Structure 1
């Protein structure tokens, strides 16, 4: 008989995570300890439970200003090497304990230089932390591989510099490049120089698009910038219409995204918080999966959303009656879409993911 589909068993399933922000996943207790150690005195609470509650309330407040304030606190304590190493190490350990076997975790080096670190020092600290955390996870019985995505802020002007850094460290577990930040008013085409450089260097990149802004953001990310994946991409559903009989008609852009198998890095809980989706039950992931888009499931910001890969999958199971086969489908989609050489992706699918789900189905 298949294992029951509940959080305890879902946690044991192998998972692949493509969209997770390092500064959005700190442990509340760590945040408090780092604030004390670094002299950061602006936390809304120094009690771990109260602080976690504050982050959750802020994320669900409906106020973009309050939501963005949460990152002021996490980034505020991530301004020296020791803090970055610790946060990255704990990230790897937390993901591994949640059953994640492969993760690409993103962070913006330019946000961590306020106390004098150079950009390359930020990158090296995070990579060292991922390596230490992966070793600790393996010692605890959980194998994981964590790689980095270097993010440039779309409202700033350092994207070419960050892209060059991503290429310089791509043989040291930097998987690729990303841009993030407010979509409206800051189109990805402002950073064409960075994307053209990356393409010349045969490097991978994803772009936050189709979350707060609609189809034009997705179109620019793909057709002007050449993105390999879409960060979120929820609003592609705006190019899909349903007839009375349930038949779906895809517009030109949606058809292109599906035909080209462009991965959508969907983050259900976060999408509800930012009003990109009305609820989990009404999240576009349902129709997009039915239409066989390359959909993946992700966490975005585990602290702000109070979520994990296990909780995201469990919520989808409850909302859409998904089975183990469906969860494996999401996981294989993500592994196929990872910025990792083909043979290594195939090895993880054949040797880790499929056997893991087969055991749960036995």
Structure 2
């Protein structure tokens, strides 16, 4: 089972600012109430935008193959990328030929409108850390572009056998039409139920959904969404991966001094999972999501630069699989610990059946959901 989140008293970790913000979003406290006027403006603008798409004033581009969006309704990480990987692999096992499209958040090439194909050897700074991880774990075509429609068009042009598109993130990106919407919820659920910035929600809740996946308790008011729903169990693999591809059993690291680093939305959860695996940290470094781990000055301040041949006294540097390819450029001794998700096989079977129904019938536009 997923380890409980550590609290602010954990001695090895300074609590990041992002954690304090998400804590505030869990309650209708003074800070959240003070931000309500801004939340009303945000909600109003979002409602207007959705109305313009429904009225046809703003147009959505529809792909010639079924499109599945895996996204979230809350700000911050909800575990979309591991779910996307799980779904792609499950569809591949059932004979589908999926491609993944993404904006590639945090990439240095976001200023260009061109679509880029992500390969196993791409630079994460150019294509984004999450698209690179998806490409490496699935071997599926992966394309990134500022406009997801551009990424989709490039993928379909380069790979004629693609028969389904999986969009990693983008529930709110109505410029791309979709046939199935999958919302992923983390253990923060829907927080205080308010929209940004007074709460974590990007959209009003509840709202119609095809599928909901959740860690911990089901989201409140889930029954009103008409969604098929399954729990997600997220846990670390029992091994770490070295830069040369070797698998190191986590059990062999017990008793060693551990320095853990994570540049993800909820780094404290990664640290807690390591501790639950018998790897308490002598030091842990929580960095902003998508931080540039190839920045020598940052790593020098954190003491992460390779200082020579490791000894039994040298701390073992552990990171998330998402961070590894950026970190390895400057700290090749780091070991990446993969995050694995387990979902009832009925989830993949349900998606398969929905997709089969779509390709068996004329592919007609579906109404956008509010």
Do they fold alike, i.e. is TM over 0.5?
A: no
Q: As a proportion of its length, which structure holds more helix?
A: 1
State which structure, 1 or 2, has the greater radius of gyration over its C-alpha atoms: 2
Query: Taking structure 2 as the reference length, what is the TM-score of the superposition?
Result: 0.31
Query: Taking structure 1 as the reference length, what is the TM-score of the superposition?
Result: 0.31
